[in-house]
Structure 1
Amino acid sequence: MPYHATIVDLKRIRSKQPWMVLSAAETFCLAHSNHPSISHFYSFKASDSPTKTLAVPDGCVDILFDCDATYPSARVFGTPIEAIEADIKNDHRYFGVRFASGTVPDWMAISAGDLVQHGYNLLELAPHVESLFEGIIENSDFAARVALCQGFFEPYAARSLSSLTQAVTQCIFDRQGNIRMDELSMLTDYTTRTIQRVFRADMGMSPKRFSRIVRCQSAIYSIHHKHQMTLSDMAHNLGFSDQSHFLREFKQLVHATPMDYKNQVQQSSYIGRIECY
């Protein structure tokens, strides 16, 4: 049975796409995953408003099923590197699978670099998922779709990363993206040049860009869950040189200033829109 989300529920989701939640015509359904490489599943019906739905950087790969009865489709999206318009059609019902940040599914025939900032037809990347596609489209129940995905993805692992990339990624997460290349070099005992080369080969982007994405998501998370923290404290905690630097970067990646974003989330009853399963 669904229930309205609470702060505790949503704190478990580190990678957020807030504009997608706010674009939902009704409720935004969410279910946590028991698969280590999948963050969560979600579903929503897009509103009939002409307002654009934006995707923000989150470091995640998503599979988004458009469950339209006439022209169903499924696409794979890599993380954007700044706020971009998402391919969401008014009044269409969607079901999504969001993989954990920094995770690349091993069964997709594509490099990590080619996924960043791009979208592809799922069945072209992975023809063997056609049975899953058909099951998702034919079944309209959210919990049943989640169960189908859980069973389908159970035997599949994430793409193997080098031990260096794993260490660097963990350092970036631990510091909420607030870490310099010289610090990564000191912590891993590798040169910055080696870190750059190995990380880019595994993740499709530089450590600096990935850190920027994690820091952006950390700011979004703080706005949602740390209501007593001021924007100046947030900027300081995330390592921005000053508050104006924080404002500029947040606006570029999220398409709103931190204060405008905070106001929009509160005025739109963000948490009240979400139902957890």
Structure 2
Amino acid sequence: MGYVMSKHALVNRLAEIRSKQPWLVMSAAKNFYLSRSDNPAISHYYSFEANGSNEQAFAIPDGCVDILFDCDSNQPTAEVFGTPMAAIDIELKSHHRYFGVRFAFGIVPDFLRVSAEELVEHHYQFIEVIPESNQVFESIVKQENFTDQVALFKQFYNGQETRQHSSLTAQVVKTISETRGSVRVEELEDLTGFSTRTIQRQFKADLGMSPKAFSRIIRCQSAVYNINHNDQVAFSELACDLGFSDQPHFLREFKKLVNTTPMVYQSRVKEQSYLDRIRYV
């Protein structure tokens, strides 16, 4: 399945994938497979077999909608997950094979029978919120090859639409992403020409959360990316780069959103050879 890249090439490829769920990678029994999407609405596809340990796995805030298929031969399931706002437990069953689809930041596929706000911090059964999805569900969970699963989902998604955001929300998302979440509300007012109240109302209608909450997610993802892909990280400098008032503020925020301290997280990433687990297909 796929091929082995050099570490440098892998890091460059992973930089193209902006959303990270590191606990999923570290929950893999062996390899964690990634496939980049040629559709801008989809960030990437992934596949892994859950390990046999009793350790908890966590989902962290990433601003993305995920569809996760449990491809168990006896009781297959599939769920649609909205982004959490803090680290949450997720139940991965020992040695079950999983296939996932992660949409890009802020993208809500139009085929879902739930609003953007209903998605945030919630998850739903795939066949309950996606009309006429039984056939693609059955096809994907029965298919054992990752590349073929990707092809099946692409075929299903071909011609589907995403929910269109207002130009105001699109501008705010772009600014928050470019500043790695460190932009202030007052700056958004100056940039857009709209009041804070209008920005917040429109943003929540489009994405189901406030600009401040989205900024926290982007800062969390930026911190995780820096720790994942650098051998040494000075947390005081990282806190400053990401616009935190001081290092203690950064440490508290990181622990809430990632479920551990930056130092412990860094040791876990290095101990479990995070990058060595990933195979790009």
Q: TM-score, normalised by structure 1?
A: 0.97
Residue 239 in 1 paired to residue 243 in 2? Answer: yes
Amino acid of the residue matched to residue 156 of structure 1? Q
Select the residue among 58, 80, 87 that pairs with 1:83.
87
- Relative distance call for 1:157 and 1:226 in structure 2 (3 A) is farther
CA distance in 1, matches of 2:91, 2:38: 28
**8 Å contact 1:41–1:96 — kept in the other structure?**
yes
User: Which stretches in structure 1 are left out of the alignment for 5+ residues?
Assistant: none
Q: How does 1:135-174 map to 2 (within 5 A)?
A: 135-174=139-178
In the other structure, the counterpart of 1:263 is 267
In the other structure, the counterpart of 2:63 is 59
* Helix, strand or coil at the partner of 2:28: coil
Q: How does 1:88-99 map to 2 (within 5 A)?
A: 88-99=92-103
Amino acid of the residue matched to residue 253 of structure 1? L
Q: TM-score, normalised by structure 2?
A: 0.96
Amino acid of the residue matched to residue 211 of structure 1? S
In the other structure, the counterpart of 1:3 is 3
**8 Å contact 2:58–2:89 — kept in the other structure?**
yes
Show CA shifts across 1:21-41 (max 9, x none): 001111111100011100000
Q: Percent identity?
A: 52
CA distance in 2, matches of 1:10, 1:83: 22
**8 Å contact 1:177–1:214 — kept in the other structure?**
yes
**8 Å contact 1:66–1:74 — kept in the other structure?**
yes
Name the count of aligned residue pairs. 277
CA distance in 1, matches of 2:105, 2:115: 16
Question: After the TM superposition, which segments of 4 or more aligned residues of structure 1 sit over 2 Å from their partners?
Answer: 225-229
CA distance in 2, matches of 1:225, 1:52: 23
Show CA shifts across 1:185-243 (max 9, x none): 11111000000100011110111001000110011111122445421111001000111
Query: 1:180 Cα shift?
Result: 1.0
In the other structure, the counterpart of 2:52 is 48
Q: How does 1:1-277 map to 2 (within 5 A)?
A: 1-5=1-5, 6-277=10-281
Amino acid of the residue matched to residue 82 of structure 2? G
* Helix, strand or coil at the partner of 1:4: coil
Worse-superposed segment, 213-222 or 3-12 = 3-12
* Helix, strand or coil at the partner of 2:17: coil
User: Which stretches in structure 2 are left out of the alignment for 5+ residues?
Assistant: none
CA distance in 2, matches of 1:170, 1:228: 29
**8 Å contact 2:228–2:274 — kept in the other structure?**
no
CA distance in 2, matches of 1:90, 1:52: 11
* Helix, strand or coil at the partner of 1:31: strand
